[in-house]
A and B are shown apart, each in its own frame.
Chain A
């Protein structure tokens, strides 16, 4: 049975979670709504959708993959020993208060990073130590289109808890047994029939707020259409204003391209992984000077074809959650909804 918690008890609840877990929660920081590490007592904001997606909690912008150390025995200067140790990011974590589209983003990462191919040990370790508390989204923005890409603003099947706000109260449904352990009995009340009905109404109202900019059709047909549109002159036209700034990839919950670099400090150092972006021209620049995606329309085309074709072919998953962040944050107003509509109709 769901439980309920009053708004003014949220911090008590979060403080108790934070005593056992590393906790991420949406908060107003530096004039923006951000998913940030929670410090006890800090005000949280459940009425906003953070500017950056939740991927950063499981796939940090920069992380250490391994540390290395060279050892030199001064009596045998010609011999050097080397040792390496892999990072093990196994901290127990709760990601709290994220919208269903961001939960979809995490499920997407599971498909790509711990699916059938090579497994990403770091993501896998983090994910298996993480619980997710989602919130039914009642603040759809004009750029949101999660339903059009198969999502829903009010259900998050891959989360452990689902919160629904009803006025000054939150109904909390446990979707997994582990999620249930987060519900601190003392702070919660039982939920009556009437409240369950109210919750249903809130969810229905949220659904009716969403726009559906296009009819996607079956995933294989989408993949096929994007592949067929590869040579279309439309790509050039649609991306003429693009600055190759990479903001769209930065805010996207499914963009996962990364770079690996070494950072040396004398005899020791670490190997780092950092977010990278296929929208940058240097991304595919080869040592010979050749660049298979030298022109910006080629990069944009690859980004969208990856999301709407290649991922379907390889992983049977769509690389878009409909969060609309790339539309909202693009400095030149490139709207992928119209690009998708165009390609689907071509």
Chain B
């Protein structure tokens, strides 16, 4: 059963065995990114679904294989779990080709999550590029549902072009939430009709210059973007303890057993995917 912060037990106590589930909805976010809604076949289990923002699951397409995806629906919603998949390889391609009603397997939730309790009473800056908004989406839902516990919230979100921005139906609502929730959108190169920022995400971070004072920054996206965002944040006075990110590694078991996803003694699959920059700095440099 899926329960908060506990280990994934798996049917019969075997964590390699997925729960059976059905894809109830499938739609395109961008030309090569699709989101899917997944419902566990066991109705009781679905009723008690619970995960934390940032946690992942392994989705199985039997015959093609398993892949890790962040659960990006709201942690407060119980109707379905949402995943967003970019077409990059064989397994992700097979997921794109599914139709509604398809049977899949799900192991999860797995991994750690954003330590939102430690962030209470603080300003939050979320910085995402492309599909990097996926792990931040459930977090944003959580923050807005617990709005009174947090101060100013800013999301800086960028993609190559307007058509590459994911979750437009969400951020159009988020920016209306209240005067202290700010959504800053950017695209790499200007196109006619675009009315927001133009420039790479790190440049916009520099321009927006969020204050490091009593603030936590969380950044997710392509590694190269993260690298430069971290540099900007450090220039703005953010300490490594004030910065969080999610890591992606090639994964298989998701259980800390197959040995694939380690960075030094830490396994991204069980000790991550969420790490503070302070934690990363203490690890061998092998990103």
Contacts and interface: CB of A to CB of B under 8 A. Distances in A.
Interface string A281-314: 0011111101011000010001001100110011
A121 interface: yes
B258 interface: yes
A84 B17 contact: yes
Q: Which 6 A-B pairs have the closest CB atoms?
A: A264-B63, A257-B259, A82-B103, A118-B255, A310-B265, A287-B88
A70 B63 CA distance: 10
A28 B285 CA distance: 46
B287 interface: yes
Interface string B253-287: 10111111011110000100000000000001111
B14 interface: yes
A86 B12 contact: yes
Nearest to A291: B250
Contact of A68 (B62, B257, B260, B286): B62
Nearest to B92: A287
Contacts of B66: 260, 262, 271
Contacts of A269: 62-63
Interface in B79-102: 88-89, 92, 101-102
Contacts of B287: 292
Contacts of A119: 15
A277 B223 CA distance: 25
Contact of B284 (A121, A230, A258, A287): A230
A167 interface: no
Interface of A: 65-66, 68, 70, 78-82, 84, 86, 112-113, 117-122, 227, 230-231, 256-262, 264, 269, 271, 276, 278, 283-288, 290, 292-293, 298, 302, 305-306, 309-310, 313-314
Given A68-B63, A309-B265, A284 B17 contact: no
Interface of B: 7, 11-18, 20, 60, 62-66, 88-89, 92, 101-103, 105, 222-223, 248-250, 252-253, 255-260, 262-265, 270, 284-287
Nearest to A311: B265
Contacts of A230: 264, 284-285
B12 to A, nearest CB: 6
B16 A284 contact: no
Contact of B13 (A70, A121, A302): A121
B258 A117 contact: no
A260 B250 contact: no
